[in-house]
């Protein structure tokens, strides 16, 4: 028997939620969210002809927020809608059908359908199930974890992966120039064309106590950059100066997170963003982050051109797989 899925727990809860999902008071969204905030995660318009302006907006957001939203990008809304319909179709299958894709026990890879990802403070649980699989490059894909239902699942994911390339390259180029490097240097130091796109689908079932539970608990993403599309249910929050702000849902926007590897490569100039998700009482929330990851044995450290006597490296250089292992097991880096 596999682990108990939150989707099943949600169906069988009638009045309240199991204790394990009730967060500590220091985490409960009902207590810790800033309401009526004037501060907002920056929104960047990719169709703005003023390239300098776009570049400095990205640099500024990456330094000060570690998160921003992009509107008027090149990914067609139909491609996003199809990706979302495919993922929603999968999570609406029977539990038995979904378990076919369950992450095998003992597997070292992230790939597969699953529930808890890592050990959490005081054994608290997250109100979310997920499906992970790579979508790029083709040599890294394991179709064993791509659902066969709905029938258009594969096509939807392949199309979305193709549309992502332009956005990924433009982001890396802007972030690279923002560090005073040449446009191609940052992506090269992150794995170049071997960068792997790992898709995660988060499924947050309706929750009777959204004031007490959390979807994904506070964390920074381990990868380089995350490109995320949510469904239309509000839930993503970003932390800034110790306070939690809602990241406004904007239809068709791409949410970008700066992950740990970019913070490391930039020797701390860019910040990976601390974020978390809340859940909804009536509706299921879903999101589709794609984590841009260096190949597992690729070494990442502060970019050599950014370190010198005055700016010594602030981070160790290590294999991406070692970084991930330490982070998931809460071992200091």
Long-range contacts formed by 251-255: CB under 8 A, 24+ apart: 252/71, 252/77, 252/80, 253/43, 253/69, 253/70, 253/71, 253/229, 254/69, 254/70, 254/73, 254/75, 254/167, 254/227, 254/228, 254/229, 255/67, 255/68, 255/69, 255/226, 255/227, 255/228, 255/229, 255/230
16 C-beta neighbours (distance < 10 Å), count? 11
Residue closer to Fe ion by CB (options 73, 200) is 200
Residue selected from 115, 224, 277, 278 as contacting ligand AKG according to rule CB under 6 A: 277
Q: Of Fe ion, ligand AKG, none, which one sits near residue 202, judging by CB under 5 to 8 A according to partner kind?
A: ligand AKG
Cβ(13)–Cβ(208) below 8 Å: yes
Binders in 221-250 for ligand AKG, by CB under 6 A? 221, 228, 230, 235-236
Q: Does residue 287 touch ligand AKG according to CB under 6 A? A: yes
Binders in 243-302 for Fe ion, by CB under 5 A? none
Q: How far is the CB of 136 from ligand AKG (least distance, A)?
A: 18
Residue selected from 135, 161, 212, 216 as contacting ligand AKG according to rule CB under 6 A: 216
Catalytic residue among 82, 170, 173, 200, which?
200
Q: Does residue 69 touch ligand AKG according to CB under 6 A? A: no
* Phi, psi angle pair for 115, to nearest 5°: -125, -95
Q: Which of 221, 202, 216 is nearest to 328 (CA)?
A: 221
275 is catalytic: yes
Catalytic residue among 221, 246, 257, 303, which?
221
Residue closer to ligand AKG by CB (options 220, 267) is 220
219 is catalytic: yes
Q: Of ligand AKG, Fe ion, none, which one sits near residue 231, judging by CB under 5 to 8 A according to partner kind?
A: none
Q: Of Fe ion, ligand AKG, none, which one sits near residue 277, judging by CB under 5 to 8 A according to partner kind?
A: ligand AKG
- Could you say which DSSP state residue 181 is in? S
Q: What CA–CA distance (Å, rounded) separates 265 from 261?
A: 6
Binders in 195-234 for Fe ion, by CB under 5 A? 221
Question: Could you give the C-alpha distances from 76 to 89, 167, 254, in angstroms and in order?
Answer: 20, 12, 11
| 228, β-bridge pairs | 255, 289
Closest residue to Fe ion in the complex (CB)? 221
Binding interface with ligand AKG (CB under 6 A): 200, 202, 216, 221, 228, 230, 235-236, 275, 277, 287, 289
Q: Which residues are catalytic, by number?
A: 200, 219, 221, 275
């Amino acid at each position: 028997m596999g682990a108990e899925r939150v989707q099943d727990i949600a169906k069988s809860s009638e009045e309240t939620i199991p204790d394990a999902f009730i967060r500590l008071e220091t985490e409960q969204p009902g207590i810790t969210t800033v309401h009526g905030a004037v501060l907002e995660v920056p929104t960047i318009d990719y169709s703005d002809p003023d390239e300098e302006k776009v570049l400095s907006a990205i640099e500024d957001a990456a330094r000060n927020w570690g998160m921003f939203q992009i509107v008027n990008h090149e990914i067609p809304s139909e491609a996003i809608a199809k990706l979302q319909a495919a993922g929603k179709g999968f999570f609406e299958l029977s539990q038995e059908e979904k378990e076919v894709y369950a992450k095998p026990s003992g597997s070292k890879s992230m790939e597969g359908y699953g529930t808890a990802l890592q050990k959490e403070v005081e054994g608290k649980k997250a109100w979310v199930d997920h499906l992970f699989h790579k979508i790029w490059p083709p040599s890294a894909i394991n179709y064993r974890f791509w659902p066969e239902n709905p029938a258009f699942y594969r096509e939807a994911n392949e199309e979305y992966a193709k549309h992502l390339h332009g956005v990924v390259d433009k982001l890396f180029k802007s972030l690279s120039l923002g560090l005073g490097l040449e446009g191609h240097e940052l992506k090269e130091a992150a794995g170049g064309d071997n960068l792997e796109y790992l898709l995660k689908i988060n499924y947050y079932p309706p929750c009777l106590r959204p004031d007490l539970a959390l979807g994904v608990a506070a964390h920074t993403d381990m990868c380089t950059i995350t490109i995320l599309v949510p469904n239309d249910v509000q839930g993503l929050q970003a932390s800034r100066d110790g306070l939690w702000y809602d990241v406004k849902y904007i239809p068709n926007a791409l949410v970008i997170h700066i992950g740990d590897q970019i913070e490391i490569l930039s020797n701390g100039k860019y910040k990976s963003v601390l974020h978390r998700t809340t859940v909804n009482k009536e509706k299921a929330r879903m999101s589709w982050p794609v984590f841009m990851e260096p190949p597992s044995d690729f070494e990442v450290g502060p970019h050599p051109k950014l370190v010198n006597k005055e700016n010594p490296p602030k981070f160790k250089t290590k294999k991406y797989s070692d970084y991930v292992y330490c982070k998931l097991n809460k071992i200091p880096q």
